[in-house]
Amino acid sequence: MEIEGACVVWQGAILGGILFWIFSSSHFNLTQKLRSFLQPWATHHVQTTTHIVLQIQSYQHGFLDTLFSGLSCVVSVPFYTAFLPLLFWSGHGQLARQMTLLMAFCDYTGNCIKDVVSAPRPLSPPVRRVASTKDEEDNALEYGLPSSHTLNTVCLSGYLLHYVLIHTQIQGPYVNYLGFSLVCLFVALIGLGRIYLGMHSLVDILAGLVLGLGILAFWLVIDEHIDSFVTSGQNVTPFWVALSFLLLFAYPTPELPTPSFEYHTAFNGVALGIVAGVQQTYHQFHHDAVPHLFSENLTIPVFVGRMMLGIPTILVVKFCSKTLAKWIIPVVANTLGIPIRSSRYIKSDKKIKEGGYLLTKHEVFDVDTGIRFVQYAGLAWSVVDLVPSLFTYTNL
């Protein structure tokens, strides 16, 4: 009873703290005040370090363009979104859970800071900006500080190294040194690449590095507690639903609309879907004794079969979730008398193309936010619940 009581207390404290921030930031206009303090400083450093970006770009070469563009894709949010289901299906459930939730935390924190500070990216021209994919073109529309690629690389590669050294038989000082050196090299290449591609200035990279190290240190302290809560805690799904809902409203309004809020909404939905699914099916599909890839019970042909069944299934679920949300959310909003707008998913004669936050100053609900959230929550739930059930029925 004492444990349950303590659990309810800290859940209430977290939700209450977020509610307090929402009301206080709205009443006292905290976002604008923070921006007026931080934006001039960040903008000054972006402008005064442009010569460093130009100096690095003076070594322009087609090979470097391809190398750094490829590395940026490997550490992008779409790549992690595609990679994490495979990690779940390979039997490494704990690592997959931690990487998903850490990614969601990094994405939310980094994008919040970006939109609070609203610092520009290096001016192009004179800086040459290389955006070889649609994802990179969208990234260029965000604000610059901190560098999300650097932040995510520090946290996820650092946590992966920690997990491998703690949970595997790979041990020894030379292994630790080699692993640490590889992670440092990878982070350095990502940071250098973001400057070379003209996507960030030096101050953006340093901010991403410092913030990433801080988040990683914090996560290494709480990761086991979070995993224990997700797999066997009390009121997990209701708490996470409330948390996800409040985080949407707690997100700061940027100076100008950017895609950052869309990215957060998607991964916020992913986190909820993963948590809800694992909470319900942990003892069936995600406990520590499940077969791992390369073991006798999960060979490469079986894993390939899982991918061939799982990937189309989650895409169908994503489509169905999106279709259902496009129908239900506007109906509910209209029933409650809430004005809505949509810039992407719903056709309307009064369509307003505006994004980056949940409510406009006229209290018009951005229905695209709810649709995006639901479709990614449905996709993530299918990864850890529906698809493993299909694996069981098909002996995969």
Contact 290, 394 (CB under 8 A): no
SS3 of residue 365 by DSSP: strand
SS3 of residue 244 by DSSP: helix
Contacts of 285 (CB under 8 A, 6+ apart): 93, 384, 385, 388, 389, 391, 392
pLDDT tens digits along 318-373: 889 888 888 888 887 777 777 777 666 666 544 433 334 444 444 566 777 888 88
Residue ranges of alpha helices (H) inside the chain are 2-28, 30-48, 50-57, 62-74, 77-89, 93-117, 134-139, 148-167, 173-196, 202-232, 236-250, 260-281, 300-335, 367-381, 387-393
Task: Spell out the domain ranges in the chain.
Answer: 1-394
- pLDDT by residue for the chain (396 residues), tens digit each? 555 566 778 888 999 999 998 888 888 888 888 999 999 999 999 999 899 999 998 888 888 888 888 888 877 767 777 788 888 998 888 899 999 999 999 989 999 999 999 989 988 888 888 877 777 777 778 888 899 899 999 999 999 999 888 877 667 778 788 888 999 999 999 999 999 988 899 999 999 999 999 999 999 999 898 999 998 888 889 999 999 989 988 888 888 888 888 888 888 999 999 999 999 898 888 888 888 887 777 888 888 999 999 999 998 998 898 888 888 888 877 777 777 776 666 665 444 333 344 444 445 667 778 888 888 999 999 999 999 999 989 888
Looking at residue 130, what is its pLDDT?
82
User: What torsion do the CA atoms of 212, 213, 218, 223 make, to the nearest 10 degrees?
Assistant: 70
| Residue 165 exposed, middle or buried by CB count within 10 Å (0-12, 13-18, 19+) | middle
Catalytic positions: 149, 200
Looking at residue 354, what is its pLDDT?
39
Q: Which residue has the tokens 């609070």?
A: 116
Looking at residue 355, what is its pLDDT?
38
Whole-model pTM: value is 0.87
Q: Which two tokens stand for residue 242?
A: 């409330």
Task: Return the closest-CA partner of residue 11 out of 271, 270, 234.
Answer: 234
d(CA 385, CA 392): 11
Q: Which two tokens stand for residue 186?
A: 């990878």
Looking at residue 79, what is its pLDDT?
76
Looking at residue 220, what is its pLDDT?
93
Single-letter amino acid, residue 223: D
Looking at residue 132, what is its pLDDT?
76
